[in-house]
Structure 1
Amino acid sequence: MEAKLAFPQDSPPLSILCAAKVAGVSLSIDPNVSSGSAPTLHLASGDFIHGVNTILRYIARVASASSFYGQDAIQAAYVDQWLDYAPVILSGSEFEAACSFLDGFLASRTFLVSYGLSIADIVVWSNLAGTGQRWESLRKSKKYENLVRWFNSISDYSNTLEEVVSAYVGKRGIGKSPAPSLKEKVPDSKQNTLGPEVDLPGAKVGEVCVRFAPEPSGYLHIGHAKAGLLNKYFAERYKARLIVRFDDTNPSKESNEFVENVLKDIETLGIKYDIVTYTSDYFPQLMEMAENLIKQGKAYVDDTPKEQMRTERMDGVESKCRNNTVEDNLSLWREMINGTERGMQCCVRGKLDMQDPNKSLRDPVYFRCNTDPHHRVGSKYKAYPTYDFACPFVDALEGVTHALRSSEYHDRNAQYYRILQEMGLRRVEIYEFSRLNMVYTVLSKRKLLWFVQNKKVEDWTDPRFPTVQGIVRRGLKVEALVQFILEQGASKNLNLMEWDKLWTINKKIIDPVCGRHTAVLKDQRVLLTLTNGPDKPFIRILPRHKKYEGAGKKSTTFTNKIWLERTDASVISIGEEVTLMDWGNAIIKEIKTENGIITELLGVLHLEGSVKMTKLKLTWLPDIEDLVSLSLVEFDYLIKKKKLEEDEDFLDNLNPCTRQEFLALGDANMRNLKQGEIIQLERKGYYRCDAPFIRSSKPIVLFAIPDGRQKSTTN
């Protein structure tokens, strides 16, 4: 039995009706309560909830969107403030003042609370919509651009919101139509789960320290971004100390270039940290700890060849070196420290348990030799700690209370705790989250490095790469990435994520604000001569975005000769009336062809014609010298298989065509585009300017931005 919402017919609670619709809460409607009564929600259990805000808070808590009530207590308090604020101010004499405040508040925000949709957005939205013509007149006036942008984007999150409004809000007020059914659940794609609704074990506000510990062996990719943003989330939630620590224990792979760009990526992601440290800062203490463990008989030096050692660990066979004397071990340890030929044959192993079912506990390697110079300390050291040895030691030393690690390390957690125990250091709690895996994507730094070294991509910032710099260069807004990652939260469930979902979030952020321009493909254009067109070209100033004045203006030249796309020209019939966008209608009088290919159209303007009656709405460019050259670049996945199995080689699944370039002409206003600016080319899609206008002979380079619906270029 579903819950029943009872309310007076003359004052339906629009905020509750909208919230229930978006939250997927099934309700039946009883609009027959006496006038003046507050709404009541009757639950299937026989209990009831009375009052608008009380019912809204209940809906927020039971919503299928996991963080509809905010991600934590502080955000829940912000939601409560909006619940109290909206009905009082937006329905009173201070309505325009409230709109002005909201417009300023939303200047740099997509949502009212945090990075995603909450019940606060629904309540404020429904209170605005509930004023009917009062809000609609302001909405059309473009007086509050940021507020209108936000209002339209919330409308897009759930088409059902407009249905509720149309049912209950008429031109003469509220209560004009029968209540709609609220049984349908909003599709998952419309839900906006905000983030990890979990607690760190034993965590107390103000007493937590977390760390983000990337290895400087490449640029940060989307998987690292998840780890970084989750650390950021918990640091903010618990008012914790956040350490960025470079795990620089392998000089063969690491460089200062990677350190600098990881710090750049961290800044791009908006991760605020307290301090930057390096594992190499602790090399002396780590060497001292290794030597102490050798002296205590808890570690030994092994010269078993690598492949033989791997086989013995798998089979649970003890090394012949396991029972060496402390003196022999210390002697070989000094050979390792000095990087001698003998020392290079050795490694230090922990003496744990070669029979343990968990193979990570079978005498793991603590130190190994490497004579490559280190990017920070040069050739000072010849022996370096392994990650598994250094990580727990430095975590404990730096005061880390909770170490966030992806679930790929799960089998090594027991080793982490055991090493802490062997060292005599305090316990650090591990918190696991699932690794972020994306379709058609490799995230291994080793594999990504192969693409760079073999010049399959430009560099680590290539827009085909899953690096933070790569996807931002392709046109992804960091805000979309943050929202996408926090939606998955700290779940331990392994998921293979679709890029389409990320790009769909991105579209909702860029579409309300990006400027609109026009382009036609150079080798696919057809001239349309308008015999009654203007004898002299004239210019009109038009908005770059019809619904967002903040996008600015553009100048459009009107001439008697204009360029159309051949794909458009090929579907036009003689005598057909078409609409030229931002101008008016024209009638096609003649179609010229050569070898079956359309070469020119002749027509007459028919500006008094009805735009609503035409089938074709065409983009066009004036035939003038001021048009700019464009290079429109589209990208595809680097590999052609959605998911590679463990035994599959990525080299066998390389996509043969991952970049396509199309030359085009664009309107003259595009000379003013800045690098990184995002625009929409009418009827073509969204693009990011990678190389702006420099001179007429050099085209502007625009990268196509996926919108969540585009097919692979190989399909």
Structure 2
Amino acid sequence: MASSASSSDPSALVELFKSISIDEKLAKSSVQNAKFAANLATVIAAAGCAETGLDDRKRGNLLYTVAGKHPSNALAHRDRVIGDVMRGDLKTSQQLDGVFEYLKAVGEEPLDDARYREAGGVGVVVTEADVEAAFDRVVSEGGQRQKLLEERYRAVATLLKGFRDFGVMKWADGKTLKATFDRKVEELLGPKTEADLAKPAKKKKKPKAKPAEDKAARGEREEEERRRAADPYAFFSKPEENNVVHTTVNFSDGRVMRISNTKRELDAYLGRTGGKYLTRFPPEPNGYLHLGHAKAMFIDFGLAAKHDGSCYLRYDDTNPTAEKTEYISHIQEIVEWMGWKPFRVTYSSDYFERLYELAVRLIESGHAYVCHQTGDEISEYREQKRNSPWRDRPAEESLRLFQRMRLGLVDEGTATLRMRMDMQNENFNMYDLIAYRIKFARHPHAGDEWCIYPSYDFTHCIVDSLEDISHSLCTLEFEPRRASYYWLLEVLGLYKPVVWEYSRLNMEHNVMSKRKLNRLVTEGHVNGWDDPRLLTLAGLRRRGYTATAINSFCRDSGITKNDQQFPYHKLEHHARSNLDEIAPRRLGVLRPLKVAIENVAPDFLEVVKAKVFPGRSDETYELGIGKFVYIEKSDFRQEDQKGYYGLALGKTVMLRYAFAVKCVGFETCKETGEVVLVRCERVEVKKPPKGVIHWVGSESLPEQYRPVKAEARLYDYLFNAEDVAEVGDDWLADMNQNSLEIVEGALLGPTFRDAQPGQVFQLERAGYFCVDKDTDGNRLVLNRTVELKERSDKKKI
């Protein structure tokens, strides 16, 4: 048996995999996939089986499933899943699938234990009586009994397939379920007859003829495809169509709540808004906005703009302990920089009084109560699906206590207001969510007026309704909250917007979790929220990315429900395309090498005209060239090579915009052997040489032509791993130690003397650069945005 989970020896890995009762053939095939093999070895080690093995084939297969199917964006929780498999809490692949679906939505955020257990059916025991009751219910619905009686055993397979997914049957023991199901079928139909046992005659399948598509139909189809490509918002419904059923809430007592707007509610809404598209961009002011927020803005503001509607900028400011005025100011400023104009800037705290009134109404209607359980007790009771001891307290008592909470007469942490929902529901978001909690903290917008603050679950849907939002758009992790969102609006009798969820935007080699970004900044791993290596919008702007490029990338990424992880070069492509249009060209060298032109006079000066946009316009700027110039170190080699077009001994090149020079010698440093001076002569050529190199003048020129010294900052990926989530808890150790290279002593053309922070340029042959905010009267600092061409390895940025 292999003793190391990290062993790279194929035979040792095969033995390790076999040790957990996996079939030898499967073990051997698993080793062929290096990534999966590493995952499986890690899982076995985490399960404590690397040394002892596991004499339990079923449990071994479950560990195998964990290695292959655990969501890569939630690896921080993999040890929890492994532990539950080994303890016997997760016994089937169906349970694992349920847990994986939950983890995929949660990512690396902290687990809600009750939701986790609910998703995986942990602790659910399905008895034979449960199977019998479920069978009777399924057969009695939708004409299934009549279908069974008519088609007899021919209909059983289809019925069984659907029955396995009915309610809690997916958590049932397979053998018990099948045996009970078969017995119930036989009780209904009796034993199989000869007719039941006879094989049905095979029907000859006629090939389906493809309907002929005439030119007109094909043209219409192609036009529709073009229209959808041109309009990424085409699939959203119109405000006047918002009378469909938004969601169905199935209660544990058998009640079903089908939630939609009535015709009266819809007509009243359309009367207030005129059928206008109204959306909202609702960031929480607890950090800086990142690229994922840019996608949200593109969807929220873009949908409204497409239909001549309006979009609110609404601060989701219900947690005063995490929010700062700095973040509020940044968000509004960055939204405007991105090119979006809010219809109105609002705060959830603007509605605190109205929210309080609605909370009172909720108590009066019996849909909320004051609870004295601690946070840990609430989690424990949710896990056990137990009601709070205060759930049935009289409304009058809850109203009195809630008023005392508002007046600051109840200690923080000793009481909450909870919504009275359904503690036995299949959806964990119906487990009596918290509506209000006590926080004796000053609010950055509301000041000291309040000491109780509403939760996100209570606030978000109500403010959407109060602001007459037509489309409430959010990322997929909020999809399970649909039930609670619409339940609250329904019991309060408020208008219900359309909710639509889309996939989050994830990028390779970087992070966009607010929790991780905050750690990177506060622990000093990067230089602030606007560090150019981060995917914060402030960092991208400082790097030289434009709002146009970012919005173009967001448009290209699409509005879908599919998980998306984009390679960094996709973002670079949009930056490069935009900067190619707007960035003026300039000459400069990052690593200067001095060149002496020996056959010109010491006071030689020639003024040349360089193109601002070569090939696109006649606009020019002046450069001076004298006896000495500086070229890029990489443009000289001591020995010439095939396919190399730079300078070498005896070789002729063209100095960009100037004249040809031929290398006649060079000097090196005695200590290092490094070339420190290249000696050339100006030459006349009949045919321009293939090699054209960039340059800058020397310090001996008149002041207006002298080069400008600068510091250039070159960037690489912030993390080595493509998917940082796969690294797990030790993700900080994966940071690329070479993500920032500072090049001192770069020399730029004289036009850079007046360069201002935020300006973008193309240094010919070197890349696109942006003047950094650290630039002042004594120092010029440039950030490289992207290189001119996409690298073959698609890595260096």
Superposed pair shares fold, TM > 0.5: yes
Match of 1:589 in 2: 664
Aligned mate of 2:763, from 681, 685, 689: 681
Residues 277-297 of structure 1: CA distance to partner in whole angstroms, max 9, x if unpaired? Answer: 211111112112222222322
Aligned in 2, Cα 1:278/1:472: closer, same or farther, shift over 3 Å?
Answer: same
Distance 1:433 1:578 in 2: 55
| 1:548 maps to 2:548 | no
Match of 2:709 in 1: 629
Distance 2:312 2:434 in 1: 26
Deviation at 1:353, TM superposition (A): 0.9
Distance 2:611 2:317 in 1: 52
Q: Following superposition of structure 1 onto structure 2, how do residues 227-266 of structure 1 map, counting pairs within 5 Å?
A: 227-266=296-335
Match of 2:55 in 1: none
Distance 1:704 1:273 in 2: 32
Aligned in 2, Cα 1:590/1:473: closer, same or farther, shift over 3 Å?
Answer: same
Aligned in 2, Cα 1:309/1:691: closer, same or farther, shift over 3 Å?
Answer: closer
The total of aligned residue pairs comes to 537
Please say if residues 300 and 473 of structure 2, whose CA atoms lie closer than 8 Å, have aligned partners that are also in contact.
yes
Match of 1:603 in 2: 680
- More displaced stretch, 505-514 vs 320-329: 320-329
Aligned in 2, Cα 1:420/1:320: closer, same or farther, shift over 3 Å?
Answer: same
Q: Following superposition of structure 1 onto structure 2, how do residues 144-543 of structure 1 map, counting pairs within 5 Å?
A: 195-200=232-237, 202-203=239-240, 206-340=275-409, 342=411, 344-521=413-590, 524-532=592-600, 535-543=603-611
Match of 1:74 in 2: none
Please say if residues 280 and 301 of structure 2, whose CA atoms lie closer than 8 Å, have aligned partners that are also in contact.
no
- More displaced stretch, 221-230 vs 637-646: 637-646
SS of 2:474's partner is: strand
Deviation at 1:335, TM superposition (A): 3.8
Distance 1:339 1:287 in 2: 14
Say which structure is richer in helix.
Answer: 2
Deviation at 1:471, TM superposition (A): 0.8
Distance 1:258 1:327 in 2: 40
Aligned mate of 2:718, from 607, 623, 638: 638
Please say if residues 440 and 638 of structure 1, whose CA atoms lie closer than 8 Å, have aligned partners that are also in contact.
yes
Aligned in 2, Cα 1:644/1:457: closer, same or farther, shift over 3 Å?
Answer: closer
Deviation at 1:249, TM superposition (A): 0.6
TM-score (norm 2): 0.63
Aligned in 2, Cα 1:203/1:442: closer, same or farther, shift over 3 Å?
Answer: farther
Distance 2:733 2:338 in 1: 34
Residues 172-217 of structure 1: CA distance to partner in whole angstroms, max 9, x if unpaired? Answer: xxxxxxxxxxxxxxxxxxxxxxx33312365568433222211122
Aligned in 2, Cα 1:239/1:712: closer, same or farther, shift over 3 Å?
Answer: closer
Distance 1:589 1:324 in 2: 97
Distance 1:590 1:644 in 2: 50
Distance 1:691 1:425 in 2: 48
Please say if residues 472 and 497 of structure 2, whose CA atoms lie closer than 8 Å, have aligned partners that are also in contact.
yes
CA RMSD in angstroms comes to 2.8
Deviation at 1:371, TM superposition (A): 0.8
Distance 2:213 2:518 in 1: 62
SS of 1:512's partner is: helix
Deviation at 1:383, TM superposition (A): 0.6
Please say if residues 672 and 693 of structure 1, whose CA atoms lie closer than 8 Å, have aligned partners that are also in contact.
no
Aligned in 2, Cα 1:644/1:356: closer, same or farther, shift over 3 Å?
Answer: farther
Aligned in 2, Cα 1:251/1:48: closer, same or farther, shift over 3 Å?
Answer: closer
SS of 2:292's partner is: helix
Aligned in 2, Cα 1:649/1:281: closer, same or farther, shift over 3 Å?
Answer: farther
Identity %: 27
| 1:709 maps to 2:786 | no
Which is greater in Rg? 2
Aligned in 2, Cα 1:601/1:634: closer, same or farther, shift over 3 Å?
Answer: closer
Distance 1:496 1:509 in 2: 22
SS of 1:574's partner is: coil
Unaligned runs of 5+ in 1: 1-42, 72-194
Please say if residues 462 and 470 of structure 1, whose CA atoms lie closer than 8 Å, have aligned partners that are also in contact.
yes
Q: 2:782 is matched by which residue type in structure 1?
A: L
- More displaced stretch, 623-632 vs 564-573: 564-573
Please say if residues 508 and 724 of structure 2, whose CA atoms lie closer than 8 Å, have aligned partners that are also in contact.
no
Structure 1's consecutive aligned runs of 4 or more residues displaced over 6 angstroms after TM superposition are 711-715
Residues 617-648 of structure 1: CA distance to partner in whole angstroms, max 9, x if unpaired? Answer: 22222223421111101233433332233853
Aligned in 2, Cα 1:714/1:238: closer, same or farther, shift over 3 Å?
Answer: closer
Please say if residues 246 and 277 of structure 1, whose CA atoms lie closer than 8 Å, have aligned partners that are also in contact.
yes
Residues 336-359 of structure 1: CA distance to partner in whole angstroms, max 9, x if unpaired? Answer: 223345453111111111111211
Q: 1:645 is matched by which residue type in structure 2?
A: A
Distance 1:584 1:203 in 2: 69
Match of 2:736 in 1: 655
- More displaced stretch, 646-655 vs 222-231: 646-655
SS of 1:633's partner is: strand
Unaligned runs of 5+ in 2: 1-209, 242-273, 639-646, 701-705
Aligned in 2, Cα 1:476/1:422: closer, same or farther, shift over 3 Å?
Answer: same
Please say if residues 590 and 712 of structure 2, whose CA atoms lie closer than 8 Å, have aligned partners that are also in contact.
no
Q: 2:545 is matched by which residue type in structure 1?
A: L
SS of 1:354's partner is: coil
Match of 1:14 in 2: none
Please say if residues 533 and 605 of structure 1, whose CA atoms lie closer than 8 Å, have aligned partners that are also in contact.
no
Distance 2:575 2:795 in 1: 20
SS of 1:503's partner is: helix
SS of 2:575's partner is: helix
Distance 2:527 2:298 in 1: 27
Match of 2:631 in 1: 564
